[in-house]
């Protein structure tokens, strides 16, 4: 009996240890798989980043080298892209500036007045709308409306053999496809940022006025004017240029340079937008950091 | 001076050819091919043999995986992109099928695109020149239409007009008669022969060398000088007189019914 009990105990212990080792094996297998996937993802991201940097440098090289070349073909394409990234997006930008004005400026000014610190309105507006929300909101609109479209149309052009055709005709595909989009998106981001900021500040005051906030228009404008310094203009310009560059190059890179698989176009467009968002937010952080270092 | 003594306008030396679809798969190795001025080549082979890949490589559009490609005596390995683009202007290329046209441009804009890009000529001058080629190719009434608005069989004619507008010396035509009826096939043969041989009636006066890829050799057999045959056994080249003596199985299939012994 004792032997039987001992044997049973031994069997239970053995079963437990086997179970334990199986769990350990399974968990180590899961960890191995996770680390494998992670390393694959890191390599893929590094590869994409490397390709993206190379593509950016090639595009900028072509922009400088072929500046002013083939005007009668390239200039209409640039105009078309500026219309698409700037003029045709004005209605949505006006709508968004009204919304921003109401949500941020109108409410903030009303709140500040209630607490008797309405003098801070200008400083807050410049920090929130001019430095931050204006450029990033304009970039997001262009990303959603134009960035996705660029990925899809360039992928389709590749699938239809248009890149090969351009090469056969001695035309640089980067010059024909990328440069007009690069210039269009960058100039569109800059101009839409300006319209968005001006629209938000004006509509914000309008909403504050509707709420009977005792703040005179010239006082409001004076506060904003006093809060703005020359480096704010430089910061907005750099942000808009940088965001435009990131959006256009990412979209063109995914549309033209990545291996093509037609059923992957929608996924590719999503990846391009996600990477544009990450790129813009990172650039925003870097520029704000430099701005504050410069100020201090 | 015989062909062999003159300089080849295009020469492939021990070239490996990549598939245009995958770009990392080599579909043929050790290709040696010399194309001389005034040559009229027909590249034939069964579907999927690699005719398009060979044409794209020989025209300098697709780079060879291995080996050397000389265009007008210059090794393209050592040419910059701009130099290569300059050489490509002397070579016209008509793509297979619907011709790879730009669907956001009109037929006229498609035809004059290389002219406007490289020579920056005015829209009026470019359109006048386009009309000369459009009339020659019977597409003048569609000059202001978009590619999706014209009959599909005319799309490759537009590509031919676009390839000719820069007045190239060499013309590559990739399978122009795919999915065409007999009358259209005859039209293509007739026009290509005028372009190559009838300098008086041809609007492309500079053109001296023609390379056509075909899937059906029978219609061409009485007109060509040289034939390149692509098959699973590799690439073979013949002069027209050598064809009857050859027993290559691919040739047999391509020429079925033409010669008695086939």
pLDDT for B260 equals 47
Percent pLDDT > 70 in chain A is 94
Cβ–Cβ pairs < 8 A, chains A and B: 57
pLDDT for B249 equals 59
A172 touches chain B (CB under 8 A): yes
Backbone angles phi, psi at A108, to 5 degrees: -65, -45
- Please answer yes or no on whether B100 and A167 come within 8 Å at the CB atom: no
pLDDT for B1 equals 41
Query: Which of A160, A161, A169 is opposite residue B114, by nearest beta carbon?
Result: A169
Distance CA B35, CA B50 (A): 18
Block residue for tokens 């968005």: A196
Nearest chain B residue to A70 by CA distance is B117
Q: Residues B191, B184: contact at Cβ < 8 Å?
A: no
Query: Which of A72, A168, A171 is opposite residue B93, by nearest beta carbon?
Result: A168
pLDDT for B2 equals 45
- Please answer yes or no on whether B103 and A160 come within 8 Å at the CB atom: yes
pLDDT for A259 equals 60
How near does any CA of chain A get to the CA of B138, in Å?
Answer: 22
Q: Which residues contact B99 (CB under 8 A, 6 or more apart)?
A: B155, B156, B158, B159
For the segment B37-60, the average pLDDT, to the nearest whole number, is: 86
Average pLDDT, chain B: 82
Question: Which stretch of A2-6, A56-60, B83-87, B126-130 has the lowest confidence by average pLDDT?
Answer: A2-6
- Please answer yes or no on whether B162 and A72 come within 8 Å at the CB atom: no
Q: Is the pLDDT of residue B179 over 90?
A: no
Q: Which of A61, A70, A170 to mutate to test the interface with B (most CBs of B within 10 A)?
A: A170
Q: Is the pLDDT of residue A3 over 60?
A: no
- Please answer yes or no on whether A168 and B95 come within 8 Å at the CB atom: yes
pLDDT for B246 equals 58
Average pLDDT, chain A: 85
Percent pLDDT > 90 in chain A is 36
- Please answer yes or no on whether A160 and B93 come within 8 Å at the CB atom: no
Q: Residues A109, A204: contact at Cβ < 8 Å?
A: yes
How near does any CA of chain A get to the CA of B198, in Å?
Answer: 25
pLDDT tens digits along A170-227 = 899 999 999 999 999 999 999 999 999 998 888 888 887 787 777 788 888 888 888 8
- Please answer yes or no on whether B114 and A170 come within 8 Å at the CB atom: yes
Distance CA A283, CA A241 (A): 11
Beta strands B74-75 and B234-239, pairing class: unpaired
Q: How far is CA A12 from CA A3, A4, A20, A21, A22, in A?
A: 14, 12, 12, 14, 15
A169 touches chain B (CB under 8 A): yes
pLDDT for A52 equals 86
Q: Render the burial of A24-63: b for 16+ CB within 10 Å, e for the rest.
A: eeeeeeeeeeeeeeeeeeeeeeeebeeebeebbebbeebe
Distance CA A127, CA A64 (A): 35
Q: Which residues contact B168 (CB under 8 A, 6 or more apart)?
A: B89, B90, B91, B92, B204, B206, B207
Nearest chain B residue to A168 by CA distance is B61
A70 touches chain B (CB under 8 A): yes
Instruction: Tell me what ipTM this predicted complex has.
Output: 0.81
How near does any CA of chain B get to the CA of A135, in Å?
Answer: 32
Block residue for tokens 């006048």: B128
pLDDT tens digits along A36-53 = 888 888 888 888 888 889
Chain A residue numbers touching B89 (CB-CB < 8 A): 169-170
pLDDT tens digits along A81-102 = 999 998 999 999 999 988 888 8
Cα-Cα-Cα-Cα dihedral of B113, B118, B119, B125, to 10°? 0
Written as one string, the DSSP assignment of B81-115 is HHHHHHHHTTEEEE-STTTT--TTS-HHHHHHHHH
Q: Residues A73, B116: contact at Cβ < 8 Å?
A: yes
- Please answer yes or no on whether A168 and B86 come within 8 Å at the CB atom: no
For the segment B47-62, the average pLDDT, to the nearest whole number, is: 86
Q: Is the pLDDT of residue B195 over 50?
A: yes
For the segment B211-217, the average pLDDT, to the nearest whole number, is: 84
pLDDT for A142 equals 94
Block residue for tokens 């990172």: A282
For the segment A160-174, the average pLDDT, to the nearest whole number, is: 88
Short-list B186, B187, B183, B206, CA closest to B196: B206
Q: Residues A272, A143: contact at Cβ < 8 Å?
A: no
Nearest chain A residue to B88 by CA distance is A170
pLDDT for B247 equals 53
Alpha carbon of residue A29 to chain centroid:
37
Question: Which stretch of A10-14, A22-26, A100-104 has the lowest confidence by average pLDDT?
Answer: A10-14
pLDDT for A181 equals 96
A214 touches chain B (CB under 8 A): no
B26 three-class SS: strand
pLDDT tens digits along B225-253 = 777 877 666 677 777 666 666 556 566 66
Q: Is the pLDDT of residue A28 over 90?
A: no
Distance CA A107, CA A204 (A): 8
Short-list B33, B26, B31, B55, CA closest to B43: B55
Distance CA B121, CA A75 (A): 14
How near does any CA of chain B get to the CA of A192, in Å?
Answer: 26
Query: Which of A70, A161, A162 is opposite residue B117, by nearest beta carbon?
Result: A70
pLDDT tens digits along B83-139 = 888 888 889 999 887 778 998 899 999 999 999 998 888 888 999 999 999 999 999
pLDDT tens digits along B81-93 = 888 888 888 899 9
| Exposure on the CB side of residue A22, measured as CA atoms within 13 A | 6
Q: Which residues contact A15 (CB under 8 A, 6 or more apart)?
A: none
């Amino acid at each position: 009996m004792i032997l039987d009990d001992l044997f049973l105990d031994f069997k239970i212990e053995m079963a437990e240890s086997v179970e334990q080792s199986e769990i350990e094996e399974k968990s180590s297998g899961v960890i191995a798989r996770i680390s494998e996937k992670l390393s694959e993802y890191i390599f893929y991201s590094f590869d994409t980043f490397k390709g993206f940097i190379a593509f950016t440098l090639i595009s900028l090289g072509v922009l400088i080298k072929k500046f002013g070349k083939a005007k009668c073909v390239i200039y209409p394409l640039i105009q078309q892209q500026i219309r698409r990234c700037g003029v045709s997006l004005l209605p949505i930008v006006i709508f968004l500036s009204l919304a921003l004005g109401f949500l941020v400026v109108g409410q903030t000014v009303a709140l500040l007045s209630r607490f008797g610190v309405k003098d801070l309105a200008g400083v807050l507006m410049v920090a929130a709308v001019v430095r931050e929300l204006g450029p990033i909101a304009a970039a997001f609109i262009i990303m959603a409306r134009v960035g996705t479209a660029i990925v899809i149309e360039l992928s389709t052009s590749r699938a239809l053999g248009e890149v090969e055709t351009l090469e056969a005709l001695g035309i640089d595909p980067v010059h024909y496809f990328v440069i007009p989009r690069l210039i269009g998106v960058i100039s569109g981001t800059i101009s839409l940022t300006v319209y968005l900021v001006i629209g938000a500040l004006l509509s914000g005051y309008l909403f504050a006025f509707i709420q009977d906030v005792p703040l005179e228009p010239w006082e409001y404008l004076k506060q904003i004017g006093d809060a703005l310094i020359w480096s704010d203009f430089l910061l907005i310009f750099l942000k808009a240029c940088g965001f435009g560059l990131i959006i256009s190059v990412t979209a063109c890179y995914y549309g033209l340079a990545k291996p093509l698989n037609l059923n992957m176009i929608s996924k590719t467009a999503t990846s391009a937008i996600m990477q544009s968002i990450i790129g813009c937010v990172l650039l925003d952080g870097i520029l704000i950091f430099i701005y504050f270092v410069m100020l201090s | 001076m015989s062909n062999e003594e003159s300089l080849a306008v295009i020469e492939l030396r021990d070239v490996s050819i990549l598939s245009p679809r995958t770009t990392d798969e080599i579909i043929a190795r050790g290709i040696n091919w010399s194309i001389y001025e005034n040559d009229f080549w027909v590249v034939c082979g069964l579907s999927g043999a690699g005719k398009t890949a060979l044409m794209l490589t020989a025209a300098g559009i697709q780079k060879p995986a291995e080996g050397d490609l000389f265009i007008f005596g210059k090794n393209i390995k050592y040419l910059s992109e701009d130099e290569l683009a300059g050489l490509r202007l002397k070579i016209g290329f008509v793509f297979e099928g619907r011709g790879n046209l730009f669907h956001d441009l009109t037929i006229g804009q498609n035809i004059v695109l290389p002219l406007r890009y490289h020579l920056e000529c005015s829209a009026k001058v470019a359109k006048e020149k386009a009309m000369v080629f459009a009339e020659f190719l019977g597409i003048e009434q569609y000059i202001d239409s978009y590619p999706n608005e014209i009959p599909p069989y005319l799309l490759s004619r537009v590509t031919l007009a676009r390839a000719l507008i820069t007045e190239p010396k060499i013309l590559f035509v990739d399978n122009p008669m795919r999915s065409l009826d007999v009358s259209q096939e005859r039209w293509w043969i007739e026009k290509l022969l005028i372009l190559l041989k009838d300098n008086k009636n041809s609007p492309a006066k500079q053109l001296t060398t023609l390379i056509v890829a075909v899937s059906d050799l029978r219609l061409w057999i009485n007109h060509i000088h040289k034939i390149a045959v692509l098959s699973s056994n590799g690439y073979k080249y013949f002069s027209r007189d050598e064809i009857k003596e050859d027993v290559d199985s691919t040739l047999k299939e391509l020429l079925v019914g033409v010669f008695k012994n086939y």
